[in-house]
Amino acid sequence: MTEVLIDSIGQHGDGIAEIGGERVFVPFTLPGERVEIARDGERGTLISIIAPSAERAEPISPYFGTCGGCSLQHLNRETYASFKRGLVEIALQHAEVETVVQPLIDATGAGRRRATLHVRKTGAGYMRAKSHEVLDIDACPILVPTLSKHAPRIARALQPLAGDCDVSFTLTDTGIDLSIKSERKLKSVALAEFARAQKLARLTFNGDAVYMARAPAVKMGKALVEIPPASFLQATAAAEETLARLVSEGAGKVKSVADLFSGVGPFALRLAEGARVFAADSDRAGIAALVKAVNHVQGLKPVEAKVRDLFRDPLAPIELNPFDAVVFDPPRAGAEAQAKELARSTVKTVVAVSCEPKTFARDAAILIAGGYRLASVVPVDQFAWSTHVEVVGVFRR
């Protein structure tokens, strides 16, 4: 055993101590704490806390420290918010982008409406920390109450039928949407009976919808959008609302907007309440859902939606220039190719939404090199007690 002083927190949430000039990463510790650890190379396992930090908080989950899901429940609210804001600040510093990052906005809301549980003979839950073993859970406090209460029970009930599998839950406005990935070959009749007994809205098995009592749908602005089985949806409803508000405020009062990497349209449908919108995404089913939603709602400006791979085929300046503003919200890889085209355009306002600060910073540097000014950067928290953070940046010419 070794007694050490924790002097900082790393980007993955681990406390950092220095032993003989070498850094050792110790999960679940805080700066200023004196702790006893078992060292294994550059990793340390916390054995006991000799002198706790005043910034330490009581975890909200009885599984914290054992479950591999959350890593920051031992931080108090102020330290937690500062840590997440710092993730964005550090990413921008590394990309040599100078700006002031605004305080973190809490958009965790009622909890996550999406979760994936692993099902084994030993139970159903998340993976144990640093392990391939499943931790059986009865509830999860970071989920919306309906999923926290019912998801573990439904997942366990599925094991005799589907065996070892992964089960993804999405709570929509019309009920629970369940997606199963399993190596077993199962009859649709048996799955449909299970779904009916559990009162599910839809059940998808290895990508195929085998049961649907009602289409899983989510209200986005004025429209009700039916969510395809594999399409993206923000983890919390509060985050979707918050991001959409920041996007709308950033775009301002404009007549035309391009929404790139639009998905099923959480931004496009709200932007269309005041502007003509062009939406593009490689998700064919998502674009079809957006078009259907537009066709079934009144009071929107025209929305044109196209299937397009923006990684391989980004919009060129000649296509971008007619728009007053452009919004992009890419996957974690960022929008490097599209940012380069925007840098060559004459678009006055660009609003960038990102779930990865490092690629956001890279794309921001590209836009700034192309003549844009980074007007604001806002971090948004929807993944409670994790090291993930959303970013919204507004760029203007």
Residues 6+ apart with CB under 8 A from 59: 65, 70, 73, 74
Segment (H or E) for 169: strand 165-172
Q: What is the enclosing helix (H) or strand (E) of 241? A: helix 237-251
Contacts of 271 (CB under 8 A, 6+ apart): 247, 248, 251, 257, 259, 277, 327
Per the CB < 8 A criterion, the answer to whether 301 and 329 are in contact is: no
Task: Confirm if 240 and 173 have CB atoms less than 8 A apart.
Answer: no
**Angstrom distance (rounded) from CA 148 to CA 137:** 10
Residue bearing tokens 């980074």: 374
Instruction: Return the bridge partners of 119, or none.
Output: 124, 165
Cα separation of 150 and 59, whole Å?
Answer: 22
* 8 Å CB contact between 31 and 49: no
The rounded distance, in Å, linking the Cα atoms of 83 and 85 is: 5
Catalytic residue among 67, 70, 140, 355: 355
User: Any catalytic annotation for residue 355?
Assistant: yes
Question: What does the DSSP assignment read for 75-114?
Answer: B-HHHHHHHHHHHHHHHHHHTT---PBPPPEE--TT-BSE
Three-class DSSP category at 71: coil
- CA–CA gap between residue 351 and residue 269 (Å, rounded): 16
Tokens 């990102």 correspond to 354
Residue 108 tokens, joined? 């965790």
280: left (phi over 0), alpha (psi -120 to 50) or beta: beta
Q: Are 179 and 208 in contact (CB under 8 A)?
A: no
Give the residue numbers marked as catalytic: 355
